Structure 1
Amino acid sequence: MDVIIGSKNPTKIKAVQEVFLTDIVTGYDVPSKVSAQPLSDSETRDGAINRAMQCLETTSGEVGIGLEGGVMQVNDHLYLCNWGALVTRENEIFTASGARILLPREFNDKLQAGAELGDIMDAYAKRKDVRKNEGAIGIFTNEHISRKEMFVHVVKLLYGQWEYEMKSSSSN
C-alpha cells in the first residue's frame, strides 16, 4: 500500500515508517493551509487534516497522513501540541493528538509575534534543525522523548483507529 505523508521532514517520515512497516511511505511537500506556526489546538489539528487531504488530492496514494506541530494556550501558559490526521480514499478522516509540554515563558512574546517554534528552539538550544531531530519535546524532556517518538505515538493512534474501523466494517 502507498502511504503518503504531507511532509519532507525526516522525523515525520520516520515516524510513519515505524508504524506502516510493510507499506511504501513517501514524503510529499504540501502546505498546511494554516499559519506557519499554529497557535491553537484547533489550528494545529486543521493543519494536519489539510496536509493529509492534500496528499490524496495530489498523488495516487491510498492513505494520506498529516502531522502538525503547534502551540496552544492554557490560561496564560503556552504548551507544545501536536496533531495527526489519516485520510482514506473513501474520505474517512481519523485524528489524534499526543504529548503536551509547557514551553518557557520567554517564548510567549516571540511565538505570539509570529516566530516559528523551530527557529526559536535552534537559537535557544544553540543547535541547528532541532525540528528535524529531537524537537522541542526532546530538549525539554532531556531527550527522554524525541520528536519522532512523539509522532510515532500519534501515528499509532491514527493507525489503530483506522484498523479498528476496517475490522468493524468488514464484520458487518
Structure 2
Amino acid sequence: MKIIIGSKNPAKITAVKNSFSHEGEFVSLDIPSGVSEQPFSDEETIKGAINRAATALKQGNGDIGIGLEGGVQETSYGLLICNWGALVTNESGPFIAGGARIPLPEEIAVRLRAGEELGPVMEDYAKNKNVRKQEGAVGIFTNGMVNRSEMFTHVMNLLVGQYKRSI
C-alpha cells in the first residue's frame, strides 16, 4: 500500500506513520492546502485537509492520500486552535476527523486576527524556530503534555479507524 502524505512537515509525517505502523510505503509531498495560509474556521481547515489529501493521492499516484491541516476557530470563549485531517482513496472518502482544541492566549489571538499566521507568531512568542515542525502551539500551551505530532496522531487514528471500518 502506497500512502501519500500531503506535507513535508515532520510532525505530520510522524503522525501518519504512527497510525499506519508498517502497513506500507510512505511518500511525503509538499502539497498546497488551497486555502489561506492561516485557516480561520473549521470549514476552511477541513477544506485544506481534503484538498491536500486529494491532491496528494493524485500527484503521488498512491492508494491513500492524507491531508492534515491546522487552523483556528473563533468562539465566544476566544480563539481556539483546531486541527483536521482527511483520508481519501481512489474508491472512497474523504474521511474527515478533528482533534484537540485549546484557547490561545489573547496576545496571540490579537495577532492572528490582524492577519498574521500562527507559525511565525509562535516562533516569536517562544523565541524558537520551527515550532510548527516540532511541539507546535499545542505543545507550548500544554507545557509539553501534548505535542503537535501526538495531536495529529489522534486525528490520524480517527481517520484510519473510519477507513478500516469501511473496507
TM-score normalised by the chain length of structure 2:
0.97
**Which residue number corresponds to residue 77 of structure 1?**
78
The offset of 1:57, in angstroms, is 1.8
The alpha carbon displacement at 1:109 in A equals: 2.6
Decide whether the 8 Å contact of 1:13 with 1:26 is kept in 2: no
The Cα of 1:99 is off from its aligned counterpart by 0.1
Overall identity of the aligned pairs, in %: 55
Which residue pairs with 2:148 in the alignment? 147
Partner of 1:16, secondary structure, is helix
* Deviation at residue 126 of structure 1 after TM alignment: 0.7
CA contact under 8 A between 2:99 and 2:154: conserved in structure 1? Answer: yes
Number of equivalent positions? 166
Deviation for aligned residue 1:60: 1.1
Note the C-alpha offset of 1:31. 0.7
Map 1:150-169; keep pairs closer than 5 Å: 150-166=151-167
Task: Give the Cα–Cα distance (whole angstroms) in 2 for the partners of residues 77 and 141 of structure 1.
Answer: 17
- SS at 2:44's partner residue? helix
Distance 1:76 1:137 in 2: 17
TM-score, structure 1 as length reference: 0.94
User: How far did 1:42 drift?
Assistant: 0.7
| Structure 1: gaps of 5 or more residues | 167-172
Q: CA RMSD in A?
A: 0.9
State how far apart, in whole Å, the 1-side matches of 2:159 and 2:113 are.
Answer: 30
Distance in structure 1 (CA, Å) of the matches to 2:140 and 2:31: 27
Q: Which amino acid aligns with 1:83?
A: W
Q: Secondary structure at the residue paired with 2:91?
A: coil
| Structure index of larger Rg | 1
